[in-house]
Structure 1
């Protein structure tokens, strides 16, 4: 479970139980998707330490349903005593939460939960809800990864239980990271830096985008991390995020000296993400126009990071980023192009890309940074006449100032108040 002990998982489960009870729910169902893609896996993983690597397979009646997914059932009240007579011990999370999966034998470390194997996850989940959660409102977290057909099936066989989408419970539970989580985020950031360095070392004139991507992925895998994804573009295509096909890179186009090469790279260590973006010029020094572009995205992001301290609102941080960008040499020469990210300057980071969103005018603009948060601040620009560039750093909010996990340094000086 990568530095997260059973006691912490038990504490998370108890915290989720309290959150659900406070909102009037009788229990929580966490639903997650696997397949080694790291999309929509966080809710089950956060509560149990489990990740389902089996890929999604379409439903086959009589054989399996929701293959490649996993579910957790967490009642607000104490669950029944296990039928085998093994009563849950005080503080033993495995007795108070059920993980349902179609995986076979599990390797160590085992999930911090009782485990039920089932070929039909939907019917098994319905049966577990009936057995463990009294009729009434049930919080469903991980709503986006539950297919409509499975949702309808659950509703049809659970007339006494009202499944309510409640992803906000999960966001609240994961907002402030524990010391163990912060250590994993630091390790993840360092791995991202190493992977990006490997990509840059490989980016010589004559190699393909695929060669550059392979160097980054190899560095991640060699270190025991998990590759999640990337967007990569270069030269006359650098204003795009990535290739339009299933592979985000070209295996045909070869880099030329003077090309802009832009990479947005994301992966994880024990589930905890890094996300960083860098842009550089292949084989040559940047031109004046390229330098203006590179400086604008980097300096505006770093200005926001310098302001990121407990008590600052995310609207203030976004305004600082925007002000520095508007004063840049790039903006003086090219004006203010339409933002690639629609005014968003970053987001929360942990087991997923998550709230809060760093935006000047929006639902999270008035929220305040707190010590223990991890955020990714970023900016991407695309100008056809010059090219595209992106810059992104991951940062932990601390009482002593922002700690950049993707450069291994703290912000150099306190922000003006």
Structure 2
């Protein structure tokens, strides 16, 4: 195996455009600033890939002017080499309150009395300690800016997601013929992981289910080993320059599928097509889940999320995170729009026996949904 060719990382110019758009949205909504701590959204705007700890590293993006990055003094050299947009780095020492730096900056920009928007995954202690500095400052959700931007992927983002999908499906194709009777999930996942890294993806572990374990979406602690005729399910993804894939395949090991295995596999595969047909531009995201569930109920599953059937949503958003808003789930009213990306995985599970899950991701185009990976044609060709 050789690494697959992949597009370059997101360019600084695109991140600068993201900041400009965020500022315009803030001004339209009367927000003074957006505050984002370490995580994918910090990377999205600044290029800084950092982890969360008790020490704050984050960005404050004002509605006007350049942002600041707040980080511990001893982390400044590392942060500086990752930062790819115009921003001042303000540091704090171990005996200082970093939220005072945030508050002082908001006062400097004259927005301390305006609503300050928090990215939805920011931890509570940050809001609590900022409120101590600015007790009268309204703190609101930043979803109308950050989530709204991140849900709509650019061509460069879609290209990186396609590259990640290409790596994962190639790793699956490599692994499938190397599965042997008696193997456990960890042994199989190790092959997938090694192949993924060799092909150029970042990998931090996937999900491999065997036998009755496939009847439960996230498996069982009961040890399972591959035997002839057992269902084997791969559910894995990888990252390429910060953008994710998420793919599942189910196959029957070492034997012809039984009539029931073939029937349920074919029904589940049909569920993916039903979901795609419902994923129309402008339609509520929940319609996709409703369409699949209606078909499944007509085939005797459910009703609703009951088993046998599919006990989870039809799909989830995906991008810089393997799971991100919004979901293809009953009641979700967000309209589908070009640039949105989702998984399509309406698995069918029969408790006490086994389950079938196929998962392929897609993105919405102006003319409708488009696969990142095309689902397999039959249970006999699970990795074609």
Give the C-alpha shift of residue 307 in structure 1.
Answer: 4.0
| Residue of structure 2 in register with 1:390 after alignment | 357
1:163-174 alignment, distance < 5 Å:
163-174=139-150
Normalized per residue, which structure has more strand? 1
CA distance in 2, matches of 1:129, 1:229: 40
In structure 2, the CA distance between the partners of 1:266 and 1:129, relative to structure 1 (3 Å rule), is farther
In structure 2, the CA distance between the partners of 1:225 and 1:101, relative to structure 1 (3 Å rule), is farther
Which 5+ residue runs of structure 1 have no aligned equivalent?
33-40, 57-65, 79-95, 410-417
| Residue of structure 2 in register with 1:289 after alignment | 260
When structure 1 is superposed on structure 2, of 17-26 and 182-191 the one drifting more is 17-26
CA distance in 2, matches of 1:104, 1:72: 13
Equivalent of 2:196 in 220, 223, 229: 220
Give the C-alpha shift of residue 190 in structure 1.
Answer: 0.9
Give the C-alpha shift of residue 120 in structure 1.
Answer: 5.0
Equivalent of 1:77 in 64, 68, 86: 64
1:350 has 2:339 as partner: no
Can you list the C-alpha shifts for 1:172-194, whole angstroms capped at 9, x where unaligned? 11222111111111111112212
The alignment covers a number of residue pairs equal to 360
1:176-215 alignment, distance < 5 Å:
176-215=152-191
Give the C-alpha shift of residue 108 in structure 1.
Answer: 5.7
1:127 has 2:96 as partner: no
CA distance in 2, matches of 1:47, 1:369: 24
CA distance in 2, matches of 1:159, 1:237: 51
CA distance in 1, matches of 2:158, 2:311: 27
Normalising by structure 2, report the TM-score: 0.82
Contact in 1 for aligned 2:362/2:370 (Cα 8 Å): yes
| Residue of structure 2 in register with 1:22 after alignment | 28
CA RMSD, 1 decimal:
3.1
Give the C-alpha shift of residue 277 in structure 1.
Answer: 1.5
1:31 has 2:37 as partner: yes
In structure 2, the CA distance between the partners of 1:154 and 1:397, relative to structure 1 (3 Å rule), is same
1:174-323 alignment, distance < 5 Å:
174-242=150-218, 253-323=224-294
In structure 2, the CA distance between the partners of 1:234 and 1:384, relative to structure 1 (3 Å rule), is same
SS for the counterpart of 2:324 is: strand
CA distance in 1, matches of 2:200, 2:186: 21
Contact in 2 for aligned 1:101/1:121 (Cα 8 Å): no
Give the C-alpha shift of residue 229 in structure 1.
Answer: 4.5
CA distance in 2, matches of 1:309, 1:254: 41
| Residue of structure 2 in register with 1:51 after alignment | 49
CA distance in 1, matches of 2:355, 2:94: 47
| Residue of structure 2 in register with 1:97 after alignment | 67
| Residue of structure 2 in register with 1:378 after alignment | 345
| Residue of structure 1 in register with 2:380 after alignment | none
CA distance in 2, matches of 1:14, 1:122: 31
In structure 2, the CA distance between the partners of 1:243 and 1:321, relative to structure 1 (3 Å rule), is closer
CA distance in 1, matches of 2:273, 2:81: 41
In structure 2, the CA distance between the partners of 1:241 and 1:99, relative to structure 1 (3 Å rule), is same
Contact in 2 for aligned 1:31/1:143 (Cα 8 Å): no
CA distance in 2, matches of 1:139, 1:406: 40
Give the C-alpha shift of residue 44 in structure 1.
Answer: 0.7
Contact in 1 for aligned 2:99/2:129 (Cα 8 Å): no
